[in-house]
């Protein structure tokens, strides 16, 4: 008895099966979480912020004070970018698809608002409001972006928001201390936790 010969699949059936596989893969990517937030990069940024707090507190003019923190922010952004790229490569994950894209969009918008408010407050001499504004909007960015990341990230964002709210109503002389607690202490503490629990 000759075995039955399986008829070849039609091109239409193969194309439909391929479409289903692409849809399944896209759905799984969208349902995942962004895990390339680098804990060790956060620790490094925190150390930079502690140094910036010391240097900024020694400045005698608002422009000098602001310059120190702007440089610290730029350095921190570079460290964060390199940290995410390194961690994403190690995990063979994309920074431009699925949760990573949503994380980026949710994070960038509050940060852009913070940059605009920094320019406006500096122009009108409202420097005492900057520490609270920075902490609050950075916390908002982390909390919103963290909705697409591991659970500890939005928790960190909420802590920054609480500290930012406190800083808005604190005495002007406490600005650098509160920035050191936030961008220094919180980033180092949460960064070490992320590095230990989530692969760096």
pLDDT in tens, 128-176: 999 999 999 999 999 988 887 778 889 999 999 999 999 999 988 999 9
Say what the pLDDT of residue 31 is.
46
Write the CB contacts of 145 (distance below 8 Å, at least 6 apart in sequence): 34, 103, 104, 106, 107, 153, 157
Cα–Cα dist 17/46, whole Å? 49
Locate the domains of the chain by residue range: 34-197
Cα–Cα distance measured from residue 184 to residue 159, given in angstroms and rounded to the nearest whole number: 13
Distance CA 43, CA 46 (A): 5
Tokens at residue 62, please?
């608002």
Are the C-beta atoms of 84 and 122 separated by less than 8 Å?
no
* 77, two tokens: 């952004």
DSSP H/E element including 187: helix 187-197
38 and 196 Cβ atoms separated by less than 8 Å: no
**57-115 pLDDT tens trace:** 999 999 999 999 999 999 999 999 999 888 878 767 667 777 778 888 888 999 999 99
Q: Is the pLDDT of residue 51 over 60?
A: yes
Cβ–Cβ under 8 Å, residues 167 and 178 = yes
The count of C-alpha atoms lying within 13 angstroms of the C-alpha of 158, restricted to the half-sphere facing its C-beta, is: 7
pTM: 0.81
Phi-psi region of 88 (alpha: psi -120 to 50; beta: other; left: phi over 0): alpha
State the Cα–Cα distance between residues 195 and 191, nearest whole angstrom: 6
């Amino acid at each position: 008895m000759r075995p039955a010969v399986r008829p070849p699949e039609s091109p239409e059936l193969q194309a439909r099966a391929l479409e289903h596989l692409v849809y399944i893969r896209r759905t799984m990517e969208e349902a995942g979480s962004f895990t390339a937030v680098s804990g060790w990069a956060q620790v490094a940024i925190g150390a930079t912020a502690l140094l910036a707090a010391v240097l900024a507190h020694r400045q005698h003019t608002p422009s000098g004070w602001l310059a120190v923190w702007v440089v610290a922010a730029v350095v921190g952004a570079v460290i964060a970018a390199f940290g995410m790229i390194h961690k994403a490569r190690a995990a063979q994950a994309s920074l431009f698809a699925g949760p990573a894209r949503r994380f980026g969009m949710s994070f960038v918008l509050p940060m852009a608002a913070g940059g605009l408010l920094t320019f406006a407050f500096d122009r009108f001499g409202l420097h005492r409001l900057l520490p609270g504004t920075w902490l609050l909007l950075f916390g908002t960015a982390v909390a919103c972006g963290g909705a697409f990341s591991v659970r500890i990230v939005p928790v960190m964002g909420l802590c920054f928001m609480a500290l930012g709210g406190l800083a808005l109503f604190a005495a002007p002389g406490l600005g650098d201390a509160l920035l050191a607690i936030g961008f220094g202490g919180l980033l180092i503490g949460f960064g070490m936790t992320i590095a230990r629990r989530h692969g760096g």
